[in-house]
Structure 1
Amino acid sequence: MPNAFPKEFRNDVIAVARRREAPVSRIAKGFGAFESCLQRWLKIADVEDGAKPGVTQVDATELREARECIWLLEQENEILRRAAAHLSQASFPK
């Protein structure tokens, strides 16, 4: 798998593409990137800048961390629920 382009490079290419002085295909070729790659960068940049609706990288990271935390808390709750059920059964003589 090829190495990712540096963030500064992507920002420069996006800035040039947003000026619309040339077709996206020619800009991508001039910078040594694929056209589809540049189009994806432009989509992501539009979402990050708020020009288009979507989930930003910061929001996606935050959501992923929140889901992991919820999953962990649910697991801990299940363990405590089972422990409480086990202990309540053990306290009554048979």
Structure 2
Amino acid sequence: MAKKYPKEFKEYVSKLIVIDGKKMVDICNELKLPYDTVQKWVSSYKKRKQDAEKAKQNQLLTASEYKELYEAELLKRLEIEEENAILKKAMHIFTQEK
């Protein structure tokens, strides 16, 4: 029966290899872990990091997206200012009729 390891332990071992640059063989020998198991943990860890990086990149706006967003906001602002000007004129007219 395969031994179950906590998620935190798998993450720790993967970080030792990926971030700290430890050799997988050394870690396996030191912690008495099967090489193929650690290899799966490291692959999974790298994939999660890659997916997180892609998600982060997708949140960033390109210059054209930013420009579109800026122009849309500017248009809304101009419409609101125009509505306010109309309302001010209407208020002025209604207050003058007394």
* Common fold: TM-score over 0.5: no
Whose radius of gyration is greater, 1 or 2? 2
The structure with higher relative contact order (CA 8 Å, sep 6+) is 2
Give the structure-2-normalised TM-score: 0.39
Please state which structure has a larger fraction of its residues in helix.
Answer: 2
Give the structure-1-normalised TM-score: 0.40
